[in-house]
């Protein structure tokens, strides 16, 4: 009698627990659906301060992330392509070490240093072409072993990327790009691109007209940095996918011409294995991260590393940073030599 009584209590408790688990799951599911339905640009969008803070964080902390495999190699600039990352530009001095803001005089000094070092500025379209050719060479058994990371290019190539879409890109950086005929590609947060209004106290963003003027020059292409700059890790994947698709739709609607390739620049450089596959399926030819390193023959198009350019660096120091990034890419510290 006593045993049965205890047993029935255990059963009753376990049924109650199961019931509450199901109830809790339903609550989570309906929250999740409500989140997807109610998501608006206004709620979702981070402030400028948060954007710049995030960008500065990108500069730190990620310098130990690698995906390349080390083997014996030759680290010469013709064997890799650095992709640099800038954000906002300011006139006058910027406190050194800022990963999100660079003074425009420094930017000009960088461009001059790159040219003097013999670099040719290429677009992400051209980077993609080089990567495709080398992938083809691997498939058809070229002159090099399949695992060789060296590109063996005819020149030293370099890509400049600029994130988030600040108006300083047009007012300060674009004249420098024109002066030196340097190419750069800009990834914009599409909901922040202004049409007719400016939100109080916000750092001014680009407008569609400026973006179209820059693209017309042939020096700049505009790409997708999502509609709201929400990180992959912060929302369910369908929500991230929506932000990517909204971003691409807005670019299609407002730009007078589009690049031959699709590029996604991950907010904060955050991505997952699943997001890489999903974005590839959606047709993205290149996925830009903030992993520290340079592009080699072994780099995945779904995981393009970049070198953050901080404030306070001379052109010569940026060149040193590129060399250091190349060394770390060809010989990752965690790999066996």
Q: Point out which residues bind Zn ion (CB under 5 A).
A: 163-164
- Closer residue to Zn ion in complex, CB, 192/297: 192
Residue nearest to Zn ion (CB): 163
Task: Work out the number of other CB atoms within 10 angstroms of the CB of residue 180.
Answer: 15
| Helix 104-116 × helix 315-330 angle, to 10° | 60
- Closer residue to Zn ion in complex, CB, 47/132: 47
How far, in Å, are 185, 194, 207, 325 from residue 197 at the CA level? 25, 6, 10, 41
CB of 164 to Zn ion, least distance (A): 5
CB of 234 to Zn ion, least distance (A): 13
CB of 244 to Zn ion, least distance (A): 13
- Closer residue to Zn ion in complex, CB, 164/285: 164
- Closer residue to Zn ion in complex, CB, 56/313: 56
- Closer residue to Zn ion in complex, CB, 150/163: 163
Two structure tokens written together for 300? 């995945």
Residue with tokens 């999903």: 278
**Residue 266 to residue 115: CA distance in whole angstroms:** 29
CB of 192 to Zn ion, least distance (A): 10
CB of 175 to Zn ion, least distance (A): 23
- SS (HEC) of 185-236: EEEECHHHCECCCCCCCCCCECEHHHHHHHHHCCCEEEEECCCCCCCHHHCC
């Amino acid at each position: 009698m006593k045993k049965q009584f205890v047993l029935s209590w255990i059963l009753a408790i376990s049924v109650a627990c199961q019931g509450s688990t199901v109830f809790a799951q339903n609550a989570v599911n309906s929250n999740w659906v409500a989140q997807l339905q109610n998501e608006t640009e206004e709620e979702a969008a981070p402030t400028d301060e948060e954007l710049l803070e995030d960008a500065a964080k990108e500069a730190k902390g990620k310098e130990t992330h690698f995906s390349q495999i080390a083997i014996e190699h030759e680290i010469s600039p013709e064997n890799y392509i650095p992709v640099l990352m800038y954000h906002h530009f300011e006139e006058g001095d910027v406190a050194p070490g800022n990963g999100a803001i660079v003074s425009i005089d420094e930017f000009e000094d960088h461009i001059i240093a790159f040219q003097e070092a013999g670099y040719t500025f290429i677009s992400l379209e051209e980077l993609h072409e080089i990567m495709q050719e080398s992938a083809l060479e691997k498939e058809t058994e070229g002159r090099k072993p399949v695992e060789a990371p060296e590109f063996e290019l005819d020149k030293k190539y370099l890509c400049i990327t600029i994130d988030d879409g600040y108006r300083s890109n047009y007012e300060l950086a674009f004249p420098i790009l024109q002066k030196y005929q340097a190419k750069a590609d800009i990834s914009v947060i599409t909901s922040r691109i202004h049409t007719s209004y400016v939100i109080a106290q916000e750092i001014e963003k680009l407008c569609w007209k400026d973006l179209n003027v820059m693209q017309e020059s042939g020096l700049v292409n505009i790409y997708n940095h999502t509609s709201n700059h929400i990180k992959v890790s912060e929302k369910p994947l369908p929500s991230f996918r929506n932000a990517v698709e909204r971003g691409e739709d807005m670019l299609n609607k407002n730009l007078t011409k589009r690049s031959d390739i699709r590029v996604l620049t991950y907010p904060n450089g955050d991505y997952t294995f699943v997001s890489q596959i999903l974005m590839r399926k959606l047709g993205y030819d290149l996925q830009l991260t903030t992993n520290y390193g340079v592009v080699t023959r072994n780099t995945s198009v779904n995981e393009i590393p970049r070198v953050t350019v901080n404030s306070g660096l001379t052109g010569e120091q940026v060149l040193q940073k590129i060399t250091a990034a190349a060394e770390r890419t060809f010989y990752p510290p965690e790999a066996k030599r």
